[in-house]
Amino acid sequence: MGRAKNEQAESPSGRTQEQTEEGGAWHEMAMERVLWSGEDIKKRVSELAEQITRDFSGKSLAVVGVATGAVIFVADLVREIQIPVTLDFVRMKSYGNSTTSSGKATCIADISIDVKDKHVLLVEDIIDTGITVSTLVAHFGVKEVASFSVCTLLDKPSRRIIPVQLIPGGKFYRGFECPDEFVVGYGLDYAELYRNVPYIGVLKSHVYS
């Protein structure tokens, strides 16, 4: 933390933020560093979609995104999946305007599609404590689904409180393992801001302290 303003943040591929994203942007001054560029994310999403396509070929797949954080990820992912899918969203509440989880998760808007006997793929932006996804595993467990799998763009296992235990037959897909820092961009927010940043970066501490 505390990077000087004239230093350039690098992605894992060695590209600076200025090289990764075209021109100066409103969000650059708020970032400590870039973790994954837009191109890094695009490549990984394509890889995940390819694996999901193979695993669910010939099966009835329902993709359920967790709003609002996973909306951008879901939109990109489903367009890369090369089999028919149904799509819906569930809305959970756990963070509010804080940088830390409230310790509990509540479903405030359920799906409207029927997922009985379907293979459900839950798509998350990030899994850290495991509280939200564990709540959703239990939530979908009573819907008589054929299987329940999870695809998360970011996984932060160092923050895990509850292990992710899937319904038997489910699969776990992970985009990137995330360091224990507060990250925003590509759907992830702080106080509902920064979701439209086209990369994933670490937010400077003074922004939220």
Please state the domain extents for the chain.
38-179
DSSP letter string, the chain: ----TTSPPB-TTS-BHHHHSSS--TTGGGEEEEEE-HHHHHHHHHHHHHHHHHHHTTS-EEEEEEETTTHHHHHHHHHH--S-EEEEEEEEES-TTSSS--S--EEEE---S--TTSEEEEEEEEESSSHHHHHHHHHHHTTT-SEEEEEEEEE-GGG-SS---PPTT--EEEEEEPPSS-EEBTTB-BTTBSTT-SSEEEEPHHHH-
Please give the pLDDT value at position 13.
38
User: Which pLDDT band, with edges at 50, 70 and 90, does 102 fall under?
Assistant: low
Q: Per-residue pLDDT tens for 188-205?
A: 999 999 999 999 999 999
Domain 38-179 has CATH 3.40.50.970: no
Q: Per-residue pLDDT tens for 56-84?
A: 999 999 999 999 999 999 999 999 999 99
Q: Active-site residue numbers?
A: 128
Mean pLDDT over residues 176-185, rounded? Answer: 97
Mean pLDDT over residues 120-132, rounded? Answer: 96
